């Protein structure tokens, strides 16, 4: 399928790196420019023909049902394009992808016929990191905790309920983390990274408690436990 781009009639096709042949790498656009092209296409989904492969990208990230994407959804869809996990193939790329700097391009260039068959079967695994995808308050359990805290707070004269951390004590929430590719500047971590299927999720339940806090003057504070960073790396031997 072909589409009209800024230079006239030209082919643009988006594909997961495991579907890109070694001989096609010279036609793969640099991720920096690919992001700009794909972003424009996503913003105009209702008015222009989609780039071939965009449907598969959006479906993989659970975004295909949205005809008009929000800014956050577009940013989410562009992450694998920025990392090189999804590659934009053009007849005449402005700047071909760097086979040394980009991990995915390098993996494609080193792939022999036997490795091609293996990677075709396992198309969605690789080095990466755990990134927070969603967080939801556990309403039933937290409602019971709020009620208990409210009854306790009635003994504190002159204090407005929910004005102190203890009013949220023992409320819980569930954090959903997703395994995503490393960013371009993190490629040096790839050899030491654990290998998981991209898109795989894990859930962690947090409880709001008063606990030790070396950064607080009092030595403790109210916060969610266990503490979870927005992005977490996992090593092979972990």
Domain boundaries, the chain: 3-123, 128-232
Average of per-residue pLDDT across 142-158 = 81
Question: What's the rounded Cα separation, in Å, for the pair 41 and 125?
Answer: 27
Q: What is the pLDDT of residue 1?
A: 37
pLDDT class of 46 with cuts at 50, 70, 90: low
Bridge partners for 224 per DSSP: 208
Average of per-residue pLDDT across 211-223 = 77
pLDDT class of 28 with cuts at 50, 70, 90: very high
The percentage of the chain sitting over the pLDDT mark of 90, rounded to a whole number, equals: 20
Contact 207, 170 (CB under 8 A): yes
Please provide the average confidence, as pLDDT, over all residues in the chain.
Answer: 81
Average of per-residue pLDDT across 133-147 = 86
Average of per-residue pLDDT across 48-74 = 80
Run of H or E residues at 120: helix 113-121
> Is the pTM for the entire model greater than 0.75?
no
Average of per-residue pLDDT across 216-235 = 85
CA 44 from centre of chain? 23
The percentage of the chain sitting over the pLDDT mark of 70, rounded to a whole number, equals: 85
Question: What's the rounded Cα separation, in Å, for the pair 118 and 217?
Answer: 55
pLDDT class of 187 with cuts at 50, 70, 90: confident
- CA-CA distances (angstroms) from residue 66 to 34, 107, 119, 140? 22, 32, 30, 30
Run of H or E residues at 109: helix 103-109
Residue 156 has pLDDT above 50, yes or no: yes
């Amino acid at each position: 399928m072909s589409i009209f781009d800024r230079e006239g009639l030209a082919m643009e096709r988006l594909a997961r790196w495991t579907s890109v042949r070694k001989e096609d790498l010279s036609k793969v656009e640099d991720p920096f420019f690919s992001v700009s092209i794909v972003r424009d296409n996503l913003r105009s989904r209702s008015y222009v023909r989609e780039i071939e492969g965009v449907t598969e990208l959006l479906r993989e990230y659970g975004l295909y049902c949205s005809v008009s994407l929000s800014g956050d959804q577009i940013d989410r869809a562009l992450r694998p394009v920025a990392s090189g996990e999804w590659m934009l193939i053009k007849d005449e790329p402005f700047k071909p992808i760097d086979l040394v700097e980009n991990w995915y391009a390098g993996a494609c260039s080193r792939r022999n016929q036997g490795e091609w068959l293996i990677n075709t079967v396992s198309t969605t695994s690789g080095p990466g990191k755990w990134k927070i995808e969603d967080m939801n308050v556990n309403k039933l359990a937290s409602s019971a905790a709020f009620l208990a805290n409210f009854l306790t707070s009635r003994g504190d004269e002159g204090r407005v309920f929910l004005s102190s951390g203890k009013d949220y004590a023992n409320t819980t929430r569930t954090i959903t983390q997703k395994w995503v590719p490393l960013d371009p500047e993190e490629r040096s971590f790839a050899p030491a990274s654990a290998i998981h299927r991209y898109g795989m999720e894990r859930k962690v339940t947090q409880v709001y408690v008063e606990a030790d806090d070396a950064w607080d003057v009092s030595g403790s504070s109210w916060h969610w436990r266990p503490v979870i960073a927005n992005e977490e790396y996992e090593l092979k031997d972990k």
